[in-house]
Chain A
Amino acid sequence: MADVRLSGVEKRYGDTRALGPVDLHVDDGEFFTLVGPSGCGKTTTLRLVAGFEAPTAGEVTIGERSMASVPPEKRDVGVVPQQYALFPHMSVRENVRYPLKFRDPPGGDADARVDDLLDLVGLTGLGDRDPEDLSGGQRQRVALARALAPSPELLLLDEPMSALDARLRERLRREVRRIQRELGVTTVYVTHDQEEALAVSDRVAVMNDGRVEQVGTPREVYDAPATRFTAAFVGENNLFDGEVVERVAGESVPAADGGQPDSLARVRLDRLDATVTVTHDAAVGAQAAFSVRPEAFTLAAGGGEHGNTFTGQVRETEFLGTATRLTVDCGDVSLVVRLAADAIPSGTVTVEFEPDAARPL
């Protein structure tokens, strides 16, 4: 097993910069996900790690070994590409066995290894089938088994679920996660689906426009988006451009980083007045952006302590099963609010949020 490090990695095609510079570190045994919209550079990053492309600048190391000028076949990685790329002229067994032509299997017996892997991915007895006779989900499992056959130190998955329907996708991602835990193989996973990323990963790197916006655990990325992009991309969010109007005297909360305590301030969020937590040095007149999760809103019991109450007209109501999603027009500003499923207000509604629910960006 091994860790992966990207230091100042850049990829340019002619004058266009596709990626970077990017610095990332994937720990040994970690399930690490690159997530972002299409064209953000996540697949390019994966291809640089696999060795299918060479970085224009910077360096990739796997297990402390520099990968500069190491071709893919010398990298000891297993790859599951987007459409699986099963060899159509080989049976399932031959597909899984193919890497064992070049690398010794753990245990030394290639046939036994192939059987073990087919068991592991739940394809026992399907070894003699042709790939084209398998369902999408089964193909995906064959691709996974093939990638894992030589017990690589690193597993790379490029949108492995994108060709599957939603329900199967959820089931398979749990299975991939189970197998990864069982083997403890360092895994880099690429997806455009932020929900999938949050569900399976130990840590997530949110990418946008060739750069890493934020790296953290799913919780950190969701609860404390560091950038406007992350806030908008991961989950749903209300984004506000704010201006500090007035410090609220006497009240302070301990800073997250243990430094000087944050304090409360009156802030004008777009055209809404609210009391939110700001850093201790945020002066009156300073610009700051904030995000508020839809689920941070509650129906106002009336007269909230800090006055973060907003009254508006319900424009849209969507029933989502576990919750109800409302679009509330408060003057010129639209709020997206998520309430318990049984709360289905209409007409005029008043909602509120706690001061620390607004995350500064």
Chain B
Amino acid sequence: MNPADGPFDRLNLDRERVGRLLATLVVGAFLTAMLYYPVASVLVEAVTDDGRPTLTPVLTVLTDPFYTGALASVLAAPGTLLAGLVAWAASGFAWPGFGLVGFTAWQALLSTVASVALGLPGAYVLARFEFRGRETVRSLTAVPFVLPSIMVAVGFVATFGIQGTVSDAFAAVGLSRFSLVFTLELVVLAHAFYNAPLVVRIVSAAAERLDTRTLEVARASGASRWRATWDVLVPQLVPALGTAALLTFVFTFQSFAIVLALGGLELATVEVWVFSLVRSFDLQEAAALAAVEAAISLALTYAYLRYEAQQARSTSGPTLDRIRFGEASPLARRAVGAYGLLAFVVFGLPLVSMVAESLFGPNGLTLRYYRFLVEQQATAASFQTRPLTAVRNSLVFGAGTLVVAVPLGVTVSLLTARGGRLAQVGGTLAFVPFAVSGVVVGLGLLQSLVFGTVVFGHRIVVTGAVAIVAAHAVGAYPFVTRSVSPLLARLDPSLPEVARASGASRLRALWDVELPLVAGGVLAGAAFAFAISVGEFDATVILAENSGSYTMPVAVERYLSERSLGPPSAMGTVLLVVTAASFVVIDRLGGAFDG
């Protein structure tokens, strides 16, 4: 080798590796600033006091009966466990109460049961029957991913509140009005609205992957149809059901906006309580409680990831035949019809009711609630929430989120799609936004960026608006990555290689070949990111506190507390339109190269 070729040429060959390293560093820096450092600062707050490490804040939370109920005394003095159990048995196993954390888990469990109960029949219908609109229904099960939670809450108030559709119907037939708002039932039902479609999606997908040859072998071995189903098909579906249930539990354990709007402080979950502590500037207790919550959520998420990783991958082979709905037995058709009605009440009615509330005033059809949205309200005092400002902020933050989250998500995909150790680490870290609640991210950004951080002697302070974009971007980029990565992973690795052998540099090959081929995924990811930004509530409500940076969901929540459904419904409807449009884009483009 010519010695003059030396290190520079060696560097030349490794340029791709250098590029990947740089990209990794940039991504890492962004995520550190926007996510890991802020979240860590919250968790550190929980275990330090004036810079000294201490477990006191966390222990205070854990041993406070308000938070952990019957467990508090056990945690404070583990030796009393046995005596406690004996006393419990003596009391006839009375419901002991496990405080705020226990209640949070309890409502999550109820929500999981409700979601599974509501979702399983749907999964069965999708997997078993062939009917017109089946694909549409299946697409719609992805809608909850993009629907803003606070908007759903408005829909549920519009349906089950004292002025709601159901109450109106009761009144119309002479029954007394009633309200389910601020009841656990409504919170659970709203959670089912979100998560039953998830159950449908995961379980029906697994059912459609079933290899029916296993069923045939079982039948040929002598099992009856039911016995074969029980022995062979059900065990193959249990993992999918477990996955769906675990995810539902994780999501509803962290639920915030729905509980805040439909349950209030009476039915507060950990997340709502953290928020109320932040609002009353009790930051250390908020941090300690958030740390406890994050620990539980991370453990649950880890369990979920481990469990999911064990699941068998899709099989190839003949799959379950679907019967035409028209040819099903009358009993089955009636059962499905009844389920369809129930599904409409839970999934359709809240949205319909909300849109109706936004269009009908006391004197019939009106657009005044929409006019309210665009009025400047020059007379409003500055602390009031101006609708047009909220709309404008939402759009600006949405655009900002696109600018940050799309390049970030695509870069993470490029770095991780081809597998390897980096991909594993990246994949796990990408799940952190799922595991850490929005309130914790918001609190972290508030403490670290808005209040300022000293880096190398410079004090770095950003405005609430920038922090909000950061919060939205960290919540949104995993969806970009998840939209792009599967397409990228499916690309023939020879494609960029051929481009390079043709004379293209690595970046040129990326631009000419890989990016055009995953463009559908990038656009779908962008739509996802926009929808998530526009609908994000948990972090935004913390960061927008006492500032003019409030967004539509924050405004909806503030209007909702004013007891008039017109304005929040109108704004909720705008949110619905924006997120539904995003969903259409995702649905059309997300599977562009699926075939």
Contact = CB atoms under 8 A, between A and B. Distances in A.
A69 B497 contact: no
A88 B495 CA distance: 9
B504 A87 contact: no
Q: How large is the interface on B (under 10, 10 to 19, 20 to 34, 35 or more residues)?
A: 20 to 34
A72 B5 contact: no
B501 A78 contact: yes
Interface in A73-125: 73, 75, 77-79, 81-83, 85, 87-89, 98-99, 101-103
Chain B contact residues: helix, strand, loop or mixed: helix
Contacts of A81: 492, 494, 497-498
A18 interface: no
Interface in A44-67: 50-52, 54, 59, 66
A99 B12 contact: no
A71 interface: yes
Contacts of B501: 50-52, 72-73, 75, 77-79, 99, 147, 156
Contacts of A210: none
B13 to A, nearest CB: 4
Contacts of B517: 88-89
Contact of A70 (B11, B13, B503): B13
A146 interface: yes
Interface string B532-571: 0000000000000000000000000000000000000000
A68 interface: yes
A150 interface: yes
Contacts of B502: 73, 98-99, 101-103, 146, 149-150
B377 interface: no
Contacts of A51: 500-501
A81 B495 CA distance: 9
A69 B12 contact: yes
Contacts of B15: 71
Interface in B1-31: 1-2, 5, 9-13, 15
A66 B5 contact: yes
Contacts of B13: 54, 68-71
Contacts of B498: 79, 81, 85, 87, 146
A99 B501 CA distance: 8
B476 to A, nearest CB: 27
Contact of B5 (A68, A82, A87): A68
Contact of B503 (A50, A52, A102): A102
A45 B516 CA distance: 30
A87 B503 contact: no
A216 B462 CA distance: 71
B1 A102 contact: no
Given A102-B502, A102-B503, A85 B1 contact: no
A71 B497 CA distance: 11
A71 B495 CA distance: 16
A144 to B, nearest CB: 12
Interface in B477-499: 492, 494-495, 497-499
Contact of A103 (B10, B497, B500, B503): B503
Interface string B206-236: 0000000000000000000000000000000
A237 B453 CA distance: 77
Nearest to B2: A66
Instruction: Output the residue of B1, B498, B500 with the most chain A CB within 10 A.
Output: B498
A289 to B, nearest CB: 40
A85 B492 CA distance: 7
Contacts of A99: 501-503
Contacts of B1: 59, 66, 68
B10 A69 contact: yes
B494 A73 contact: no
A81 B10 CA distance: 26
Contact of A79 (B5, B497, B513): B497
B463 interface: no
Contacts of B183: none
Contacts of A77: 501
Contacts of A50: 497, 501
B492 A89 contact: no
Contacts of A98: 499, 502, 512
Interface residues of A, number: 33
B421 to A, nearest CB: 11
Nearest to A74: B503
Interface in A203-235: none
A338 B131 CA distance: 61
B56 interface: no
B5 A69 contact: yes
B495 A150 contact: no
Contact of B500 (A66, A73, A156): A73
A150 B2 contact: no
Nearest to B6: A69
A73 B516 contact: no
B571 to A, nearest CB: 41
Contacts of B513: 87
Contacts of B366: none
Given A73-B501, A73-B504, A103-B503, A85 B2 contact: no
B351 to A, nearest CB: 38
A99 B503 CA distance: 6
B116 to A, nearest CB: 41
Contacts of A54: 13
A69 B513 CA distance: 24
A160 B503 CA distance: 21
A52 B506 CA distance: 11
B12 A87 contact: no
Contacts of B500: 51-52, 71-73
B505 interface: yes
Nearest to B11: A69
A157 to B, nearest CB: 12
Given A79-B497, A87-B513, A73 B5 contact: no
A68 B131 CA distance: 62
B505 A73 contact: yes
A68 B497 contact: no
B495 A85 contact: yes
A51 B2 CA distance: 18
A153 to B, nearest CB: 12
A52 B12 contact: no
B12 A85 contact: no
B431 to A, nearest CB: 27
B9 A85 contact: no
Nearest to B8: A69
B504 A102 contact: yes
Nearest to A89: B516
A101 B500 CA distance: 12
A156 B498 CA distance: 11
Interface in A239-269: none
A75 B504 CA distance: 11
Nearest to B10: A69
22 contacts: A50-B497, A50-B501, A51-B500, A52-B501, A59-B1, A68-B9, A68-B13, A71-B13, A73-B501, A75-B501, A79-B494, A81-B492, A83-B492, A85-B494, A85-B497, A85-B498, A88-B517, A89-B517, A98-B499, A101-B504, A103-B503, A150-B503
For the complex of A and B, the 8 pairs showing the least CB-CB separation, nearest first, are A102-B503, A99-B502, A69-B9, A85-B494, A81-B494, A69-B13, A79-B501, A72-B500
Interface of B: 1-2, 5, 9-13, 15, 492, 494-495, 497-506, 512-513, 516-517
Given A69-B9, A150-B502, 7 more contacts: A54-B13, A70-B12, A73-B503, A79-B501, A85-B497, A99-B502, A146-B498
